[in-house]
Amino acid sequence: MKYGNVAGVNKPVSRVVLGSSMLDATRLPYSFALLDYFHSNGGNCIDTAAIYGFGKAEQALGEWITHRGVRDDLVLIGKGACSTSCTPDLVTSELDESLDRLQTDYVDIYLMHRDNPGVPAGEFVEGLNERLQAGRICAFGGSNWTTERIAEANAYAAAHNLVGFTASSPNFSLGLWNEATVADCFTAADLATRLWYESHDVALFAWSSLAQGFFTGRYRPEHRDRPDIADIVRVWFNDDNFRRLARAQELAAAKGGTPNQIALAYVLCQSINIFAIIGSRTIEQIRTSFLANDLSLTPGELRYLNLELRPNEGLVIECSGNS
């Protein structure tokens, strides 16, 4: 496992982060098995949210933390206020409810799941600094906040001698979407947003880092009319993404591994303080995702995967990795 750092968090943070939407308090043996495997193989960062399973994911995670006695080992990401009508008061009340379900006194990183542009960013900063001073959180930020709003929040914090956002969780993957997977969500995969994160000290926790399985190769252009994958088609089916898939397959053949691992390595090898959230539902999916840590992609290979280089445009593929 490779680790990074987030300002305000006094522990190393695993670059591969386990999402928790699949956890369920009514399926504790299953939930414990996934968490045990992730943790025993070096994963220490888990992303959760009040909305996942209407609290059942947090309950399952809280039971596991208590039974295993591993709270001090973990970096917990909590998320609340999953509404564009959220207010600082709602952030506080939902945080307290989440902590009760998680059976802990604090989360390491707290993210507002959505933004309410009608509320000045400074009001959220004020409320979150109160939670910080109370020891309920160690760092905070926004999930699905635009870079403009993050900049507004941090400018307010700097002007008022407060702590600002040190983490953000937009979508980021090798695939570029046609439209957001869910309303009021944002991606950082475009060039302008990538450059903003490169030049600002804000850790990026990439959700849907594997583009909902698009790079497994199980989807093909002729599947466009399949009703069972209508959401995948709506978001990820475009000619450029199938070209990216073909290039991921090419690099996987040269380096070892799978196109899906190449796509995850694309995220992990960015020149950003970046962490990849995986939504693995089986131990095997976690295991194969971990192998992406061993794949190194050069700047040229990153550009090639993202269609910024034409075929044979001075690219030398380094044939090494987890073969």
Look at residues 50, 52, 4, 59 and name the one whose alpha carbon lies nearest to residue 26.
59
Q: Is residue 125 part of a domain?
A: yes
Q: Express each pLDDT in 7-54 by its tens digit.
A: 999 999 999 999 999 999 999 999 999 999 999 999 999 999 998 988
- How far is it, in rounded angstroms, from Cα 118 to Cα 136? 26
Residue 323, pLDDT score? 35
- How far is it, in rounded angstroms, from Cα 296 to Cα 293? 8
Q: Is residue 257 part of a domain?
A: no
pTM beyond 0.75: the answer is yes
Q: What one-character-per-residue DSSP string does 301-312 give?
A: HHHHHTTSS-TT
Residue 81, pLDDT score? 84
Domain that holds residue 226: 3-238+266-296
34 touches 18 (CB < 8 A):
yes
Q: Report CA 69 to chain centroid distance, whole Å.
A: 25
Into how many domains does the chain fold? Answer: 1
Number of residues that this document lists for the chain: 323
Mean pLDDT by 10 residues, the chain (323 residues): 96 97 95 98 96 92 97 96 82 92 97 92 96 96 95 98 97 95 91 94 95 93 95 96 96 93 97 95 96 93 90 60 41
Residue 113, pLDDT score? 87
Q: Express each pLDDT in 213-234 by its tens digit.
A: 999 989 999 999 999 999 999 9
Helices 259-268 and 239-255, packing angle to 10 deg = 100
Q: Is residue 29 part of a domain?
A: yes
- How far is it, in rounded angstroms, from Cα 130 to Cα 132? 5
Q: Is residue 316 part of a domain?
A: no
Residue 173, pLDDT score? 97
What values do phi and psi take at 261, rounded to 5?
Answer: -70, -35
Residue 26 token pair: 């009514």
Q: Is residue 247 part of a domain?
A: no
CATH number reported for the structural domain that contains residue 142 in this entry: 3.20.20.100
In the block, residue with structure tokens 């004020």: 126
Look at residues 10, 5, 15 and name the one whose alpha carbon lies nearest to residue 265.
15
Q: Is residue 323 part of a domain?
A: no
48 touches 77 (CB < 8 A):
yes
- How far is it, in rounded angstroms, from Cα 234 to Cα 243? 17
Q: Is residue 252 part of a domain?
A: no
Q: Is residue 255 part of a domain?
A: no
